[in-house]
Structure 1
Amino acid sequence: MRRVLAALALVLTLVGTSLADNWPAWRGPQRDGISKESNPPTTWSKTDNVRWRLPLPGPAGSTPIVWGERIFLTSAEGNATVLLCVDTDGKILWKRPLGEGNKVVRKGEGNSASPSPSTDGQKVWANASTGELACFDFDGNEIWRVDLQDRYGKFDIAFGMTATPVLDGDRLYLQLLHTGGAIVACLDKETGKEIWRQNRESDAYAECEHSYASPIIYRDKDREFLITHGADYVVAHRLDNGEEIWRCGGLNPRGNYNPTLRFVATPAAAPGLIVVPSAKNGPVLGLRPDIKGDVTKDESAYLWTRPNNTPDVPSPLIHDGLVYLCRENGVLLCLDAKTGKELYQNRTHAQRHRASPVFADGKIYITAADGTVTVVKAGPEFEVISSNDIEEPLAASPVIADGTLYLRSYDALYAIEPEEKK
């Protein structure tokens, strides 16, 4: 019996470690930008502490994902988009076509390989912003494929449908918000067949109808729901059928309406709090999760509000009672999660920031577009631990798995490890 119990304890330990070491989706294991890894690397350069650098077939802003000894990432390749499988030694195991007609936007800053893949440890799901969505097994065999534009109508969106679907249990949740239509849908992850779809109503117009944010799931012991963000509103939907539970506007005030206010930053959630960004130095909302109906003018729905200083592209980070907002200009704000009180506002690096912040082992990784990653001490006081430059343009969020930091530039995938691990 002792041997059985010991073996069971070992299995549970290995399973727990495996789960903690993986990075199965954009923003990590819990889709919140938080890693449970200890002692991640904090200093590196283009060559120092770099275990390997793998040149990629083309640029992209999508974040890699990691499961065990496999890394998956999407990339442009000429006029196409592809899904790559790379081992943790930096070798490409396979490459599969994902979509045709790669659309390059904002002078090369973005393209059709912007959405990030997701995995459950057995299969991987990936999509291109042109509408192709496919499922593969870990050996690269295609399980199913669907063209979302054929199914849900042609996309009318300036820079492509960049939202990353949410993989949760046996379902895949999509938000497709654009001028030609606004649809939220749920697919069976094993077959790609539609489980439900809902039209998402809005009075937004012009470019405001275009959303580049991704959906998220809020979950605590009392409730769970899908959150979609765009077209002037943040909206909560039931997971079983997509019906609307609540919505909140006020992110693009009608008295001073900005017809170019498209949402890019994705909301963040922790038990008891949903942090909702807007765009272009607009407001940030701290919402309660236990609300119903249109709460735009319901003061009791708000834990706090900020009239400005929203992160325009990087998504918020919530950890240990604090909210971190990284603005596009590299200014980092730290707020009290309960009250929204500002604890500090300091610049990390004076360059454009596109990637979302990541927390690990008491540190926050802030990534700039010029390839500089600033490591900041987590907590209510601002302190820079290090500044590290790979000297290549970078828009993807950092990934931390099994003691290794992965950075995906427009040119290459980097595996960076602490000095003591080398």
Structure 2
Amino acid sequence: MYPIRALAAVLLLTSLAPAADPAEWPQWRGPARDGTVTGPAWPDKLEGGALERVWRVEKLGPSYSGPIVATDRVFTTQTVDKKTEVVTAHDRKTGKELWKASWEGSITVPFFAAKNGSWIRSTPAFDGKTLFIAGITDVLVALDGGTGKEAWRLDFVKEFGTPLPDFGFVCSPLVDDAGVYVQAGGSFVKVDKKTGKVLWRVLKDGGGTMGSAFSSPVFAKLAGADQVVVQTRTKLAGVERDTGKELWAKEVPSFRGMNILTPVPVGADGILTSTYGGNTRLVRVKSADGKFDTSDAWALRYEGYMSTPVVVDGHAYVLGKDKRLVCVDVKTGKEAWSTDDRFGDYWSLIANKDRILALDSRGILYLLKANAKEFDLIEKRKVAESETWAHLAVCGNEIFIRDLNGLSAWRWSGK
């Protein structure tokens, strides 16, 4: 009888053990900020009941902020009546509103960008306790994730005496144990996450003719050194986290400073980037005797625009200015293939093993196989009637989609 009792005890303990917390999506481009997730393989279908909508919140104001997914809630932003920015927490299981916070904040973007709207752009970051939101008028706001209570607010226009950026605060905050890293006030800044005090400010350009840079920073270890990599309106740079010391910098040409996408660390010394009016390139970062040096490992005459690539098995998948998807060998810089078809202006891309999910700005979700030989479309599905510029969020078998008019939660039912 002893083995049976032992088995019963094990079963009882297993049943009493707390279930693992569901996967989260705490920041721009996901947990590792690289557009990849781990876990079980995704199903091979989007249609036929394989992917079902669980809930939807209607009548939200427009936003380009991707949804932030915590253990029990989902955060989203919106601009209401062209004058107020609103942050809302929704119950992850039901979509029910838990709390709401707001402040006045709006601008009108230049006429040539009018089709991209005059509403909040940046995706917030959540550290498990505090939500950090970039308001379009160059303000950074910290809210308690549980209650929505404001902890602090930093107005970069007042802090630095810089002009209001023409396109607003576009950069998505990056957070570590001590600080929040953003491009704001015509510079790259680290802010104390507890107090909102500026810890350092570097790479100052005064904001140029159109305001601060659009690209979001990322942590990387390059040439053996931990650093934060940032792409300004004119250059790519590596900065020491604690001090703000510029370790290295390389000019990155683009049209009107439109360095928009997030640089992608590759291997021990590589940074992949692509610019509008420039090209796609891999920058090598080397270090000797404490001095850093950079060079182009290769450059491909293909212009990226707004969509940050994902890298799978040594190949980058890049949606460019011409709306074609291009597969590039990261080691050689050679184009493996490109599509004849043209897609929307923007894709948010997430990879899991050899699968890629791509949310097109036209409201179409694509499921691809990461295939270095050819464009390999598994299935596609219309998931929104309004435009979907906000970055897709994928947490295990759940998918969260923010379109211009609402927020939806979807669930894969299995293979």
Whole-angstrom distance in 2 between the partners of 1:392 and 1:239:
39
Equivalent of 2:392, from 398, 402, 405? Answer: 398
SS across alignment from 1:150: helix
State the one-letter code of the partner of 2:408: Y
Equivalent of 2:248, from 246, 249, 263? Answer: 246
Whole-angstrom distance in 1 between the partners of 2:252 and 2:353:
36
CA apart distance, 1:415: 1.1
1:387–1:189: structure 2 CA closer, same or farther, 3 Å change rule?
Answer: same
CA apart distance, 1:175: 1.4
2:130 counterpart of 1:123 = yes
1:153–1:379: structure 2 CA closer, same or farther, 3 Å change rule?
Answer: farther
CA apart distance, 1:141: 1.7
1:227–1:116: structure 2 CA closer, same or farther, 3 Å change rule?
Answer: same
CA apart distance, 1:187: 1.0
Q: Percent identity, aligned pairs only?
A: 24
Matches within 5 A, 1:172-183: 172-176=180-184, 182-183=186-187
CA apart distance, 1:104: 5.7
CA apart distance, 1:205: 6.4
Equivalent of 2:75, from 72, 81, 96? Answer: 72
Which residue of structure 1 aligns with residue 216 of structure 2?
A: 214
Contact 1:44-1:388 within 8 A present in 2 as well: yes
Contact 1:355-1:396 within 8 A present in 2 as well: no
Whole-angstrom distance in 2 between the partners of 1:48 and 1:356:
18
Contact 2:49-2:413 within 8 A present in 1 as well: no
1:122–1:45: structure 2 CA closer, same or farther, 3 Å change rule?
Answer: farther
2:163 counterpart of 1:161 = no
Could you tell me which runs of 5 or more consecutive residues in structure 2 were left unpaired when the two chains were aligned: 1-5
Equivalent of 1:49, from 32, 47, 52? Answer: 52
Contact 2:317-2:325 within 8 A present in 1 as well: yes
Cα-to-partner distance string for 1:236-295 (whole Å, 9 max, x where unaligned): 11111111111111524xxxxx5x342212211133221021113x21120123358795
SS across alignment from 1:149: helix
SS across alignment from 1:49: strand
How high is the TM-score relative to the length of structure 1? 0.84
Q: Which moved more, 1:66-75 or 1:190-199?
A: 190-199
Q: Which moved more, 1:231-240 or 1:325-334?
A: 325-334
Which residue of structure 2 aligns with residue 93 of structure 1?
A: 98
Which residue of structure 1 aligns with residue 233 of structure 2?
A: 231
Contact 2:324-2:343 within 8 A present in 1 as well: no
State the one-letter code of the partner of 2:95: G
Q: Which moved more, 1:319-328 or 1:161-170?
A: 319-328
CA apart distance, 1:124: 1.0
Q: Which moved more, 1:213-222 or 1:46-55?
A: 46-55
Which residue of structure 2 aligns with residue 28 of structure 1?
A: 30
Contact 1:219-1:225 within 8 A present in 2 as well: yes
Whole-angstrom distance in 1 between the partners of 2:49 and 2:346:
20
Contact 2:107-2:168 within 8 A present in 1 as well: no
SS across alignment from 2:142: strand
Contact 2:319-2:347 within 8 A present in 1 as well: no
State the one-letter code of the partner of 2:72: E
CA apart distance, 1:46: 12
State the one-letter code of the partner of 1:380: A
Contact 1:369-1:394 within 8 A present in 2 as well: yes
Cα-to-partner distance string for 1:163-193 (whole Å, 9 max, x where unaligned): 11211222111212xxxx6322111111111
Q: Give the greater-gyration-radius structure (CA).
A: 2
1:383–1:201: structure 2 CA closer, same or farther, 3 Å change rule?
Answer: same
CA apart distance, 1:45: 9.6
Whole-angstrom distance in 2 between the partners of 1:194 and 1:102:
24
1:394–1:44: structure 2 CA closer, same or farther, 3 Å change rule?
Answer: farther
Cα-to-partner distance string for 1:91-110 (whole Å, 9 max, x where unaligned): 11111014423546633523
State the one-letter code of the partner of 1:161: F
Whole-angstrom distance in 2 between the partners of 1:109 and 1:55:
21
SS across alignment from 2:253: coil
Which residue of structure 2 aligns with residue 277 of structure 1?
A: 274
Contact 2:50-2:412 within 8 A present in 1 as well: no
State the one-letter code of the partner of 1:315: T
Which residue of structure 1 aligns with residue 87 of structure 2?
A: 83
SS across alignment from 1:415: strand
Contact 1:314-1:328 within 8 A present in 2 as well: no
Cα-to-partner distance string for 1:37-57 (whole Å, 9 max, x where unaligned): 424464159997111121143
Whole-angstrom distance in 2 between the partners of 1:63 and 1:278:
22
Cα-to-partner distance string for 1:337-391 (whole Å, 9 max, x where unaligned): 222222111156x343324311124211222221112221113132001111123
Whole-angstrom distance in 1 between the partners of 2:408 and 2:393:
10
SS across alignment from 1:151: helix
How many residue pairs match? The answer is: 394
Q: Which moved more, 1:405-414 or 1:103-112?
A: 103-112
Contact 1:80-1:102 within 8 A present in 2 as well: no
Equivalent of 1:337, from 327, 330, 335? Answer: 330
Equivalent of 2:404, from 394, 402, 410? Answer: 410
CA RMSD of aligned residues (A): 3.1
Which residue of structure 2 aligns with residue 114 of structure 1?
A: 121
